[in-house]
Amino acid sequence: MADSQALLKARYGIEQPGTKVPDAIAPLLDRRVTRRYTEQDVPDSLLDALLAAAQSAPAKSDLQQFSVVVMRDKPRIKQIADWIGTMDWIATAPVFLVWCGDMRRGQRLCAMHDMPHANNNMDTFLNTAVDCSLAMAQFMAAADAVGLGTCPISYVRSHIERVSPLLGLPNGVYPVAGLSVGWPVFRRPVSMRLPPTVVVHRERYDDSAMETEVAAYDQRRAARDPIAAGSLKNNDVYPPRDGVGWSENVARQLSVPERFGFGAYLKTKGFDLA
């Protein structure tokens, strides 16, 4: 029987009396990203099973609007790691996946049947991103279940003008995230999450207690895993200092525009985003 309170304390920093974690979902509560991989390969027979698990995720209207590019060629993976520049461990992964929203397939299906594709809009952008994210999440859960480690990489979007041609992404196809996959060198500690009182709303949205709850969360996180001044977000904009908590670090990140060219990129790929 899973030790519910140990799992919940690791995830939230506080116990959740009354919550019972069934054995079947205990591994989901215990998950964490992996950013170092051994040299051991991931056989295609296993990778293909994990990809089948990904394709088993639900798909909006059964439209199946995602694609994934499997990269195993070390120099090509390293090329992406080099462009990113700050995540050299990506190049140590035997497999790098690029998960893509895919409107193109639907456009081609319409053309095959002599009909217009009348949905190159914001809703399709969202649907393709959601299909893709659900598939990637299911892949990660499957990988965890067999002892593999993964780390999503949004930074492929920071170099989209290079990554896109490297992968030959045509119009209608855009990267949602990369995913490095390999056998973990070690397991990182569980990353503490906001308490359910902040995230889970009952019947109606209510964030009236957020500031108090977040202040307590900042303290719990700092006690377990303080943020080193050198690894704060946007240290070039805000002076680094000790004692910055999670919420201030989030504000440091969100106060500076990130990938503000992404919308323009999507428009060049055929999304009108209307």
Ligand X SMILES: Cc1cc2nc3c(=O)[nH]c(=O)nc-3n(C[C@H](O)[C@H](O)[C@H](O)COP(=O)(O)O)c2cc1C
Judged by the rule CB under 6 A, the positions of this chain that interact with ligand X are 32-33, 35, 87, 151-155, 177, 191
Q: Which is nearer to ligand X, 107 or 169 (CB)?
A: 169
Pick between residue 177 and residue 214 the one whose CB is nearest to ligand X: 177
**Nearest approach, Cβ of residue 114 and ligand X (Å):** 37
Least separation in angstroms between residue 33's CB and ligand X is 4
* Tokens read off for 87: 């995540």
The side-by-side arrangement of strands in the sheet containing 95-102 is: 66-71, 95-102, 173-182, 149-153
Query: Whose Cβ is closer to ligand X: residue 32's or residue 78's?
Result: 32
Reported as type and span, the H/E element at residue 266 is helix 262-268
Which 3 state secondary structure label does DSSP give 134? helix
Q: Residue 60: helix, strand or coil by DSSP?
A: helix
Q: Of 169, 171, 149, nearest to 159 (Cα)?
A: 169
Closer by beta carbon to ligand X, 177 or else 266: 177
Of 261, 273, 71, nearest to 172 (Cα)?
Answer: 273
User: What is the closest distance, in whole angstroms, from the C-beta atom of residue 210 to ligand X in the complex?
Assistant: 20
User: In the complex, what is the shortest distance from the CB of residue 203 to ligand X, in angstroms, rounded to a whole number?
Assistant: 28
Of 244, 219, 224, the C-alpha closest to 234 is 244
Both tokens assigned to 185: 């060198």
Nearer residue to ligand X within complex by CB, 50 or 132? 132
Of 31 and 107, nearer to ligand X (C-beta) is: 31
Closest approach, Cβ 142 to ligand X, in A, equals 16
Residue 25 CB, nearest approach to ligand X (Å): 16
Say how far apart CA 150 and CA 182 lie, in whole Å: 7
